[in-house]
Amino acid sequence: MLIFEHARPGRRNYSQSPAAAAKIDDIPQNLLRKVPLLLPEVSEMDAVRHYTRLSQKNFSIDTQFYPLGSCTMKYNPRACNSLAMLPQFLARHPRAPESTGQGFLACMYELQEILKDVTGMAGVSLTPMAGAQGELIGIAMIRAYHESRGDSARTEIIVPDAAHGTNPATAVMCGYKVVEIATDKEGDVDMDALKAAVGPQTAGLMLTNPSTLGVFEKNVAEMSKIVHQAGGLLYYDGANLNAILGKVKPGDMGFDVIHINLHKTFSTPHGGGGPGSAPVGVAERLLPFMPVPVVASENGVYRWLTEKEIPQSIGRLSAHMGNAGVLLRAYVYVRLLGAEGMHRVADFAALNANYLMAELSKAGFEIAYPTRRASHEFIVTLKDLKEKTGVTAMNVAKRLLDKGYHAPTTYFPLLVPECLLIEPAETESKETLDAFVVSMKEILEEAHTQPEMVKGAPYNTPVRKLDDVKAARELDLAWKQT
Amino acid sequence: MPFIPHTEEDIQAMLASIGAKTIDDLFDEIPPALKGGSLKRVPSGLSEMEISRLMLERAEADGRYLSFIGAGAYEHHIPAAVWQITTRGEFYSSYTPYQAEASQGTLQLLYEYQTMMASLTGMDVSNASMYDGASALAEAALMAVRSHKTSRRILMPATVHPVYRSVVRAIVKNQGIEVVEIPYCKESGQTLPEFLDAFGKEEFAALVIPQPNFFGILEPVDALTDWAHSKNALAIGVVNPMALALLNPPGEWGAKGADVAVGEGQPLGIPLSSGGPYFGFMACKQALVRQMPGRIIGRTTDQDGKPGFVLTLQAREQHIRRSKATSNICTNQGLMVTAATIYMALTGPEGLRRIAAQSHTNTLTLLEKLEALKGVKRIFNGSLFHETVVSLPGPVDNILQTLKSQQILGGLNLKDYYPELGNAILVCATETKTPADLKNFSERLGQALDKVSAASADAQPSSIESLST
């Protein structure tokens, strides 16, 4: 039932709005609203019950194990939320003078410094509001760098075929042509393909390392050399930074620009699809192009640097300063971890991933890159299972929902057939992983003994398999009053 | 170890299963030369008690002010239920709803949100939100260029929020899109149709129409919309959603209605929080739905015929179309939209109208009080919503600084954005301001002005400390 269907004309929450209806007769008639406003007329309790019940139809980290590859669904500490929501932080206006936000700015400055250290970059800007915006800013800086040198012949961005879809989409938004390069049998970027692709037309290479295939690109140093020798720059997609946090700094791998998904590695909430936050880090040569604002500290006073101080900046990408509240949550998280906690994140993310990979392999699942170490994630391919039983990766994913687990990432990366990309994250215990393996084994057996049952999954969720084709053909995007 | 549950026994058992001796062995594929690099600027870990104390001290140092700043972010009362429900773990810690059967809560809520926003803007469809108002406007400009096919020119009134204009330029410039600025009327503070003809000789993809505009002034939206359509371009409304409880929505502007409506969703239940996270909204006419970027939720049925919700029209998106997607956008601002939806459900149509109307009335009352002060003048004579520009008879920085020392943030200094307006501030009074607050502000401002004029009468440099902030 929709909230609109709970409504009754004239029902209202008297405490939630002014007691009297103020007059607006000075506004010209032709500018006033004449059409009805379709908001629900419900009581506070109706609304609270309705949205509480809706929340209960969700899977979430707080209620289920979420082995969702490349998404780093780790526990979101509650302290991060409650401390970011202190009333003074919530009430502060973005255009209030800096002198009224020294406490807030101190957190932002320290977060910038910590992220610089962890990534090995010379500068960090906190403004990007999501991973895809971090990418846009990063590639825009690469473009600004080449243009500032009068180097206008660079028209291409190289992207491995295993990359997230945002990488090629971002390159196009920055006016570049995308050149996709292949992956070799071991899951690394095909070095011959890279060598063939680079040239004077190369603006840069976008790389995720460890890659979305769950392996560390062993040749990253050589890749860096090849691209740099051709005059291109290296972009690090920080989607999988969790796997190497405190172990390897992207700056040390030769990257010129990086974005960091705080909603992955730094445990800010996914919130059902946002808000994200993706600070960008840059090497020395890209410092002049950083997006504004950036926090500076001078004699213990914090202030924003703007276009005035960074005149070659690629500009502003948000109305204010990005997702401040998300940045506060990340700040609390890094202070709770501390220097000694950073590498532990990678240690236990790797331990959980390699353990789960070993156990699933023993349980009869085919691992896509069995000779490789898992980073913080790995790929199971169900190609054989599909050939033998007709059960697909999607069917297995849906059956996992019945057993109380969120599904792994399915059909990504696109180059591995019938794949499940599995990332347990460091915050899960051995018991949870063991129980997951038991469920996976059960599904494997069900696939052989009752494949039709598995294909019909899910059964225990609030709705069963939904008709996507109907949704796209008979578009129903808003409720209509009848 | 914070947030890591492993016991020593677990670690040993897990390593044995893997066939590794130590955890370090798991990193043996990383070339040794790349490893290491100690963390010199990361302090050691704090306990929850210690970090709580630090954050509380910092929050208290920032304090609370009586604020009359608007300029794109507005203080409204947020009912307690909004964030108590929004931060339930099932909303807070869930992922993007790709697995529809495990995400019906978020998906249904987003469908309800789309319904509310489509109605509020008078449009056929809404997406599930964008990052913020400024980036939503940039995406609308890109959408207009995609749908126009021949022109890559966007007409942008100077009455649009100055930072929005910067953001649009930063996002579209690498795609060879030209943003042309249109001057405003010095008397009314509006974008007048008669100013436009000079800009309409050459083809353009869209005209942006703010309502209210950055000055708080109401634009002649019907005439602007019809003019854009007469030139075969799209009309993009950039609107304050709170104002739409009172004002004619973009879908009803002119003869045919604007084509796209975007704006900043923050007034709908999102705290000011130093600038974010907020959310941008985007709604459009049915004909443009396949050009729309971002997540869109559709209602459908499951295999038993039961109604349910899914992400739809995904063929527009980067995870399917890669380099041919309508945008690189991957997320919406899910949690913010959760709050906004609950906010709109709690206020309902009448509540929202009252909040908007009270904000309007409070600003008029404030304006009257300010204009009664010697030398304070309203700059524009156009009708306004809940914000207005006034000129002060003295240096704005000094006056605002004096007010700040009395716990009042007296508005936004416009010198960086509109230097031609002289000593001008943009002030806003929402429904959160009581008659006592308005009186307090106007009296304190009067005293600050007296101080300034006394200082200048003495021909002495101002004794008020001038800070750059």
CB contact at 8 A, B219 and A2: no
At residue B314, what is the residue type?
Q
What is the greatest pairwise CA distance in chain B? 86
The tens digit of pLDDT for each residue in B361-372 reads 999 999 999 999
What token pair was written down for A98? 């800096």
* CB proximity B303 to A under 8 Å: yes
At residue B306, what is the residue type?
K
Q: Is the dihedral of CA B327, B328, B331, B336 positive or negative?
A: negative
Q: How far is A264 from chain B (nearest CA, A)?
A: 11
At residue B161, what is the residue type?
H
Mutate to test the interface with A, among B35, B219, B221, B322 (most CBs of A within 10 A): B322
Q: Extract long-range pairs of B52-59: CB within 8 Å, 24+ residues apart.
A: B52/A79, B52/A83, B54/A335, B55/A83, B55/A86, B55/A107, B55/A332, B56/A83, B56/A86, B57/A103, B58/A102, B58/A103, B58/A104, B58/A106, B58/A107, B59/A86, B59/A87, B59/A88, B59/A89, B59/A103, B59/A104
CB contact at 8 A, A248 and A272: no
CA B120 and chain centroid, separation = 16
Chain B window 323-382: which residues touch A at a Cβ cutoff of 8 Å?
323-325, 327-336, 338, 341-342, 344-355, 357-358, 360-361, 364
Question: What does the angle CA B49 – CA B50 – CA B53 come to, to the nearest 5 degrees?
Answer: 85
- pLDDT of B250 above 60: yes
Question: What does the angle CA B417 – CA B423 – CA B424 come to, to the nearest 5 degrees?
Answer: 60
Q: How far is A35 from chain B (nearest CA, A)?
A: 8
Per-residue pLDDT band at B322 (split at 50, 70, 90): confident
Cα–Cα distance for residue pair A146/B45, rounded to 1 Å: 41
CB contact (8 A) between residue B167 and residue A465: no
How is residue A233 annotated by DSSP? E
Cα–Cα distance for residue pair A439/A383, rounded to 1 Å: 19
CB contact (8 A) between residue A317 and residue B249: no
Question: Who contacts A29 (Cβ-Cβ below 8 Å, separation ≥6)?
Answer: none
Predicted confidence pLDDT, tens digits, chain A (482 residues):
999 999 999 999 999 999 999 999 999 999 999 999 999 999 999 999 999 999 999 999 999 999 999 999 999 999 999 999 999 999 999 999 999 999 999 999 999 999 999 999 999 999 999 999 999 999 999 999 999 999 999 999 999 999 999 999 999 999 999 999 999 999 999 999 999 999 999 999 999 999 999 999 999 999 999 999 999 999 999 999 999 999 999 999 999 999 999 999 999 999 999 999 999 999 999 999 999 999 999 999 999 999 999 999 999 999 999 999 999 999 999 999 999 999 999 999 999 999 999 999 999 999 999 999 999 999 999 999 999 999 999 999 999 999 999 999 999 998 999 999 999 999 999 999 999 999 999 999 999 999 999 999 999 999 999 999 999 999 999 999 87
Cα–Cα distance for residue pair A333/A352, rounded to 1 Å: 21
Q: Is the dihedral of CA B230, B236, B239, B243 positive or negative?
A: positive
Mean pLDDT for chain A?
Answer: 96
CB contact (8 A) between residue A100 and residue B404: yes
Complete DSSP assignment for B331-360? ---HHHHHHHHHHHHHHHHHHHHHHHHHHH
CB contact (8 A) between residue B108 and residue A54: yes
CB contact at 8 A, B401 and B370: no
Closest B-chain CA to A115: B42
Q: How far is B2 from chain A (nearest CA, A)?
A: 6
Per-residue pLDDT band at B459 (split at 50, 70, 90): low
User: What pLDDT sits at residue B67?
Assistant: 98
Which among B48, B298, B331 is the nearest to A130, CB-wise?
B331
Q: Is the dihedral of CA A33, B191, B414, A301 positive or negative?
A: positive
CB contact at 8 A, A84 and A275: no
Cα–Cα distance for residue pair A211/A239, rounded to 1 Å: 9
Reduced to 3 states (helix: H, G, I; strand: E, B; else coil), residue B307 is: strand
Q: Which fold has domain B66-72+349-454?
A: Aspartate Aminotransferase, domain 1 (3.90.1150)
Cα–Cα distance for residue pair A250/A267, rounded to 1 Å: 19
Complete DSSP assignment for A242-296? GGGTTTB-GGGGT-SEEE--HHHHT----TTT------EEE-GGGGGG--S-EEE
A chain contacts of residue B361, beta-carbon cutoff 8 Å = 22-24
Percent of chain A whose pLDDT exceeds 70 = 100
CB contact at 8 A, A383 and B42: no
DSSP E strands: which ranges in A8-88?
none
Cα–Cα distance for residue pair B314/B325, rounded to 1 Å: 10
CB contact (8 A) between residue A31 and residue B54: no
Q: How far is A449 from chain B (nearest CA, A)?
A: 23
- pLDDT of B462 above 50: no
User: What pLDDT sits at residue B46?
Assistant: 98
Instruction: Find the helix or strand (DSSP H, E) in which A108 lies.
Output: helix A102-119
Beta bridge partners of B126: B283
Percent of chain B whose pLDDT exceeds 90 = 90
B chain contacts of residue A350, beta-carbon cutoff 8 Å = 23, 26-27
The tens digit of pLDDT for each residue in B6-49 reads 999 999 999 999 999 999 999 999 999 999 778 999 999 999 99
Rounded average pLDDT over B116-124: 98
Closest A-chain CA to B275: A94
User: What pLDDT sits at residue B463?
Assistant: 41
CB contact (8 A) between residue B18 and residue A277: no
Percent of chain B whose pLDDT exceeds 70 = 97
Q: How far is B55 from chain A (nearest CA, A)?
A: 7
User: What pLDDT sits at residue B466?
Assistant: 42
Residue A287 φ/ψ, nearest 5 degrees: -50, -40
User: What pLDDT sits at residue B465?
Assistant: 44
Distance (Å) of CA B399 to CA A98, A151, A358, B392 = 16, 48, 69, 9
What token pair was written down for A481? 């009053």
CB contact at 8 A, B422 and B395: no
CB contact at 8 A, B58 and B318: no
CB contact (8 A) between residue B245 and residue A37: yes
At residue B49, what is the residue type?
M
* CB proximity B104 to A under 8 Å: yes
Quick one: which of B369, B397, B376, B379 has its CA closest to B466?
B397
Rounded average pLDDT over B232-257: 98
Burial of A456 (0-12, 13-18, 19+ CB in 10 A): middle
* CB proximity B167 to A under 8 Å: yes
User: How many beta-carbon contacts under 8 Å exist across A and B?
Assistant: 682
CB contact (8 A) between residue A47 and residue B120: no
The structural domains of chain B, with segments of one domain joined by +, span 66-72+349-454, 80-342
Distance (Å) of CA A401 to CA A97, B108, B413 = 49, 18, 55
CB contact at 8 A, A21 and B353: yes
User: What pLDDT sits at residue A355?
Assistant: 98
Q: How far is A233 from chain B (nearest CA, A)?
A: 18
How is residue A327 annotated by DSSP? H
Q: How far is B192 from chain A (nearest CA, A)?
A: 15
Closest B-chain CA to A120: B37
> Domains plus CATH for chain A?
3-55 (no CATH), 79-337 (3.40.640.10), 342-468 (3.90.1150.10)
Which among A89, A318, A462 is the nearest to B167, CB-wise?
A318
CA A425 and chain centroid, separation = 14
Q: How many CB atoms lie within 10 A of CB A340?
A: 14
What token pair was written down for B86? 């929004």
Per-residue pLDDT band at B468 (split at 50, 70, 90): very low
- pLDDT of B382 above 80: yes
CB contact (8 A) between residue B45 and residue A143: no
Q: How far is B214 from chain A (nearest CA, A)?
A: 13
B chain contacts of residue A114, beta-carbon cutoff 8 Å = 41-42
Mutate to test the interface with B, among A6, A16, A116 (most CBs of B within 10 A): A16
CB contact at 8 A, B194 and B138: no
Which among A18, A34, A41 is the nearest to B348, CB-wise?
A41
Which among B135, B341, B404 is the nearest to A97, CB-wise?
B404
Class of domain B80-342 as given by CATH: alpha beta
CB contact (8 A) between residue B469 and residue A303: yes
**Residue whose tokens read 């846009």:** A136
B chain contacts of residue A40, beta-carbon cutoff 8 Å = 344-345, 348
- What pTM was estimated for this model as a whole? 0.96
